[in-house]
Amino acid sequence: MDAQLDDKSLENTLAESLADLGPDTKTVSEDEFVEVVGGALEAVGGTLLFKMCVQNEGEGQHVAAASIGDGGNRQLLLLTLPTGGGPLKVETTSRSSNPVAGIAAAYAGLMDAFKTAA
């Protein structure tokens, strides 16, 4: 992947690769979410950091944090999908207003510290 991609380009690239992967069902299970996110990350060489289901503004959401690239070129992504179905949203954590975005950055830093310690 080109390390020079800006945040918006990265979001658009992932959104395009996800356009036909979204489940057509009305409710989305955690397994379906993992399958969609896994396929999207595989397409761009990304790594899933963690996933959770949260309530955001009264709506249930599946949320996944992912990492693409290494070192200074690493980008952190947030992928969200309403549990009631709808489009999968992809954002870089730096552009996201979702509270989970801060957790993603902290988690990635913690994993870096564990790698260094090991």
Q: Collapsing DSSP states into helix, strand and coil, what is residue 19?
A: coil
**At 26, is the pLDDT very low, low, confident or very high (cuts 50, 70, 90)?**
low
Q: Which residues contact residue 66 at a Cβ distance below 8 angstroms, ignoring those fewer than 6 apart?
A: 37, 41, 46, 47, 48, 49, 76, 77, 78, 79
Model confidence at 105: pLDDT above 80: yes
The phi and psi torsions of 38 (rounded to 5 degrees) equal: -60, -45
Contact 79, 90 (CB under 8 A): yes
pTM: 0.73
Q: What confidence category does residue 16 fall into, taking pLDDT thresholds of 50, 70 and 90?
A: low
pLDDT at residue 2 in the model: 47
- Say what the alpha-carbon torsion angle 30, 105, 49, 116 is, to the nearest 10 degrees: -160
Residue 31, classed as helix, strand or coil, is: helix
Q: Check residue 71 and give its pLDDT.
A: 75
